[in-house]
Structure 1
Amino acid sequence: MPKTQNTTNEPATLKDKIFSAARIRHVSAETKAICPTFDTRRFLALTLYGLDDRSLMERLRCVTEALHVGLAQNFRPALKILRKLAPRLDNSFVTMVLSDYVALYGAEDFDVSMDALRFFTPFGSSEFAVRHFMRRDLQRTLAVMETWAKDKDEHVRRLASEGCRPRLPWSFQIEPLIADPAPVAAILESLKADPSLYVRKSVANHLNDITKDHPGWVLDRIRGWSRDDPRTVWIVRHALRTLIKKGDRNALTIIGAGEDAQVRLRKVVVEPKTIRLGEAITLSFDLTSTSDRPQKLVVDYAIHYVRAEARKSRKVFKLKTLTLAPGESVTLQRRQSIRDFSVRAHHPGRHLVDVMVNGQTLSQTSFDLLK
């Protein structure tokens, strides 16, 4: 079997922590305890050979396929074994191999597969697996997910929202929902005041995904939601975060910060003025209301990162949302490390820093990153 090349930039420690050789042996031993005919020798040969060169998701898929080989069972008998295996595995991410098994081998048994995904999701989310069924039959799968949105288990309700996010991280996109989010409206409506923060985070992230393609659709829907429930208010605020960072006036109006800020900024400072990669800056400033009435203020800041060939890329960060009384002052401060990430590499040069209030840039300072 040829080794699989690792094409991801994820830290090696993450994949080794989740899918280490020891944990793969744990999966093997627990499966053998349930199913004496399980071929542990074949399973371990398939999963451990080339392990170091596989990414996290490649390891997950390899374990799934090796389970299928080791069990040597048709889908329904194998599923009975996997249901018994679910509570015996010691890591929720690893347990996602069970829902992945359903995605790979349960395509021709829709109803049984949907029930299995619902069963597995409290042990390890089925959010990736259900998307394979959406790709095959979007309408039929969403109909089941609408019932999940009313389930008594918060994990199942979250699956209803998370599974049909159009741009779910670490998974493929659902192109029809990127083109038209209307088919998921009933799910989002059912969950707009969910008692579980776990679910509300998913709903907010789902709506935030949609704002990247259909901001008007999200704004129109949210405008019709009652603000009497703080759970709905929480979802709205977090769902609009990307639009708010962009200074979208309609989004700011919905959260009560749509008017131009009447404020004065003083002592806007970034310290130290010169740093090296891996060090941190601290942005601080005084903010004073010049209005004769209380005003809600959304305070953000943006860093103009230097890119290759002296280009710059502006990224907005949340700082604070607050209400200031007439004449009231507050000192705000934020410390931020300047270090490389898999999605952002830093380059030396002068980095501008904007201070934004209610979507408008009101002050600018800078720091220098040395080689």
Structure 2
Amino acid sequence: MSSADTAAPALKEIFNRKRLQHIADETLAVYPAFAHKRFLKLASAGLDELSLMQRLARVSESLHATLPADFPTALGILQDLAPRLNSGFVTLCLPHYVANYGLEHFDLSMQALKYFTCFGSAEFAIRHFLVLDFERALAQMTEWAHDDNEHVRRLASEGSRPRLPWSFRLLRMQAEPMLAWPILDALKADPSLYVRKSVANHLNDISKDHPALLLAQLESWTLDDPRTQWITRHALRSLIKKGDRRALALLGAGEPAQVDLLALRVTPEVLQLGQSMTLSFNLKSTSDKPQRLVVDYAIDYVRAGGKTGYKVFKLKTLDLAPGALVVLARSQQIRELTTRKHYYGWHAVHVLVNGERLGSGGFELVP
């Protein structure tokens, strides 16, 4: 069996013809007058050439063409449809509908997004309302940060991210990140990991444009709560990878590590695409005091024209007792990604501890 036979289906196949039939059937069940055959014809036209997000948009547009033109009426049908859909991602076509056709019904649409986000997420759709009326939408989202439902609280944080992936940037939020601080501050010790991940990602977005501002705000937080500690640690990941001393200090690792790097190995020394590189090494404390260590590693990827690109990866944060030794290892598959094209040649691998490079090895990538 070839690798093509065993490869996972493309993400866009979430919206395949079988799923379109499911959407049509369930819409017909809640709205007997639904023109389901026309919906299927519209939604499936040229389907194979469409990307995931284009297919999502196509479903929304096809629903608009086959549901009542009156937005409140159509919205009621979609609200009945939401709990019947068999995929959380597929439900994103519903907030997409609201963003496309409900901008003139602000209050009704905002309540609909609050409802729909509980089935999947309305993080992309809510941004259109921030563009339409920033203050009004942000005031509503700030209220949602105190909602009993974790999905609604997450929407407050995720939807207001300056640099949300797969969406356009919120330029005003990017320029003035403190506008969302009441949301982030309200969620800094949220009991839901789902929410905490969003808060950390929002803060990490801020770190890319306003690192000093973010650090000052995080330094004002009390880090006694382990949930706030978790958010802070993950929020600082981009700055930690850069070796930022203030960021490291917030994690208790602001001082250079007093350790010896021992038994550093990168195996195998020669590998091909699809194979894995293993980095292993020991760290032995040379201090008479306990130390917090933030341990990362970096790979100098060969680029076109013989240049290299430096990429840092998280490995482990640990507390090392005086004189103690810790054994660390990490394997990583070297494979093609949509975000990284590999070139043959020598790839240096570096061990980083508390922002400092302690030693290096490497591997040769060959055809």
Distance in 1, matches of 2:163 and 2:360, equals: 33
Q: 1:34: Cα distance to partner?
A: 1.0
Q: Distance in 2 between matches of 1:273 and 1:204?
A: 37
Q: Is 2:202 the partner of 1:215?
A: no
2:325 maps to which of 313, 321, 329: 329
Please name the residue that 1:40 is paired with: 36
Q: 1:182 aligns with which of 178, 193, 202?
A: 178
Query: Any residues of structure 2 matched to 1:97-176 within 5 Å, and which?
Result: 97-176=93-172
Give 1:247's aligned amino acid: G
State the secondary structure of the residue aligned to 1:264.
strand
Structure 2 counterpart of 1:339: 335
Equivalent in 188, 192, 198 of residue 194 of structure 2: 198
Structure 2 Cα separation of the partners of residues 305 and 100 of structure 1? 39
Cα 1:12–1:280 shift into 2, 3 Å: closer
What is aligned with 1:8? none
Greater Cα offset, 106-115 or 37-46: 37-46
CA displacement, residues 199-223 of structure 1 (integer Å, 9 cap, x when unaligned): 0000001000110001111111111
In the TM superposition, 1:239-250 aligns within 5 A as 239-250=235-246
Match in the other structure for 1:13: 9
| In 2, Cα distance between equivalents of 1:153 and 1:294 | 41
Counterpart-to-counterpart distance in 2, 1:286 and 1:80:
61
SS in 2 for 1:339: coil
Counterpart of 2:292 in structure 1 is: 296
Deviation of 1:180 after TM superposition, in Å, equals: 1.4
**Counterpart-to-counterpart distance in 2, 1:256 and 1:217:** 19
Structure 1 residue aligned with 2:91:
95
| Deviation, structure 1 residue 165 | 0.5
How far off its partner does 1:133 sit? 0.6
Shift of 1:124: 1.4
User: How many aligned residue pairs are there?
Assistant: 361
Kindly indicate whether the alpha-carbon contact (under 8 Å) linking 2:284 and 2:324 is maintained by their aligned counterparts in 1: yes
User: Equivalent residue of 1:212, what SS?
Assistant: helix
1:4 counterpart residue number: none
Amino acid at match of 1:270: V
Which of 54, 78, 85 lines up with 2:50 in the alignment? 54
Alignment pair present for 1:259 and 2:255? yes
- Using structure 1 for the length normalisation, give the TM-score: 0.96
Residue 27 of structure 2: aligned partner? 31
Which string of whole-angstrom CA distances, capped at 9 and with x for unpartnered residues, describes residues 82-122 of structure 1? Answer: 11000000001101111111101100110000000001101
AA at the equivalent of 1:121: T
Cα deviations across residues 277-336 of structure 1 (Å, max 9, x unaligned)? 111111011110001110100010000000100010000001111111111001111111
- 1:214 partner amino acid: H
Post-superposition, which runs of at least 4 consecutive aligned residues in structure 1 deviate over 2 A? Answer: 11-17
Which runs of 5 or more residues in structure 1 are unaligned? Answer: 1-10
Taking structure 2 as the reference length, the TM-score comes to 0.97
Unaligned runs of 5+ in 2: 1-6
- What is residue 226 of structure 1 aligned with on the other side? 222
Q: Identify the residue that residue 287 of structure 1 maps to in structure 2.
A: 283
1:248 Cα deviation from its structure 2 partner: 0.2
Q: Indicate yes or no: 2:337 matched with 1:368.
A: no
RMSD: 1.0
Deviation readout 1:245-289 (Å, 9 max, x if unpaired):
110000000110000110000111101000011111110111100
Q: Report the CA distance between 1:12 and its aligned residue.
A: 8.6
Relative distance call for 1:286 and 1:15 in structure 2 (3 A) is: closer
Give the structure 2 partner of residue 355 of structure 1.
Answer: 351
Q: 1:12 to 1:140 in 2, by over 3 A?
A: farther
Contact 2:13/2:52 (<8 A) preserved = no
C-alpha spacing 1:16/1:172, structure 2 compared with 1 (3 Å): closer
3-state DSSP class of the match of 2:217? helix
Residues 28 and 345 from structure 1, CA distance in 2 versus in 1: closer, same or farther, beyond 3 angstroms?
same
Q: Per-residue CA shift, 1:118-161, capped at 9, x if unaligned?
A: 01101110000000111111111100000100000000000000
Letter in 2 for 1:91: S
